[in-house]
A and B are shown apart, each in its own frame.
Chain A
Amino acid sequence: DSGVTQTPKHLITATGQRVTLRCSPRSGDLSVYWYQQSLDQGLQFLIQYYNGEERAKGNILERFSAQQFPDLHSELNLSSLELGDSALYFCASSVGDGNTIYFGEGSWLTVV
């Protein structure tokens, strides 16, 4: 158990819908990262927050947005979903740059 909690674990939704994935970082960690992993693909960096502020952005689609709240939990919002958005979405957290990042168990999103 890494200490990073993600909900929901599994989600099936229809194209065009909107979903929210939630992440609680490890106690004491200020950085939260979101990654997307499509079937048998690598980990694609989406976005990073540090202590409530956006710190770095990767190849995140405009239909996707995220935020980190004052209690440091984070949410990833995915809207106008397409079949290609089906993937495993990981949240990870760390104390800060240059430190180990710990991954949650992921949220499996299936768009039908």
Chain B
Amino acid sequence: QQPVQSPQAVILREGEDAVINCSSSKALYSVHWYRQKHGEAPVFLMILLKGGEQKGHEKISASFNEKKQQSSLYLTASQLSYSGTYFCGTEGAQKLVFGQGTRLTINP
């Protein structure tokens, strides 16, 4: 079952913060986050394997709440290069299913 992402789209000014949420009605074994630029392949950001796990790389981090069956991606002090569509993918029943995506636009 496809996870649900919110918001569907967000527009920021450079330097602002954003949070993208991902939730599932099914138990989650892991959460994957990807960013995709238009017409390009999705690029791996991070994977969270355990409930309570938090990861981060530079100004992008994520958390995984296994009990609530949800994950959040945090983008801090956004840069123009952060623009794109963000997908969360959830693993269950041996397949990786992605949400509909959150389109992030960063303006100067």
Which chain A residues have a beta carbon within 8 Å of chain B's beta carbons?
A: 2, 33, 35, 41-43, 45, 48, 55-58, 88, 90, 97-106
Q: Give how many A-B residue pairs fall within 8 Å (CB-CB).
A: 58
Contact B97–A55 (Cβ < 8 Å): no
Which residues of chain B are within 8 angstroms of A90 by Cβ–Cβ distance?
A: 41-42
Q: Which of A33, A43, A97 makes the CB contact (< 8 A) with B87?
A: A43
Contact A106–B41 (Cβ < 8 Å): yes
Q: List 30 A-B contacts (CB under 8 A).
A: A33-B96, A35-B98, A42-B2, A42-B87, A42-B98, A42-B100, A42-B101, A43-B42, A43-B87, A43-B89, A43-B98, A43-B101, A45-B97, A48-B94, A55-B95, A56-B95, A88-B39, A90-B41, A97-B91, A97-B94, A98-B47, A98-B49, A99-B47, A100-B32, A100-B44, A101-B89, A101-B96, A102-B44, A103-B42, A106-B41
Contact B94–A55 (Cβ < 8 Å): yes
Which residues of chain A are within 8 angstroms of B30 by Cβ–Cβ distance?
A: 98
Interface: B93 (CB within 8 A): yes
Contact B97–A101 (Cβ < 8 Å): no
Interface: B84 (CB within 8 A): no
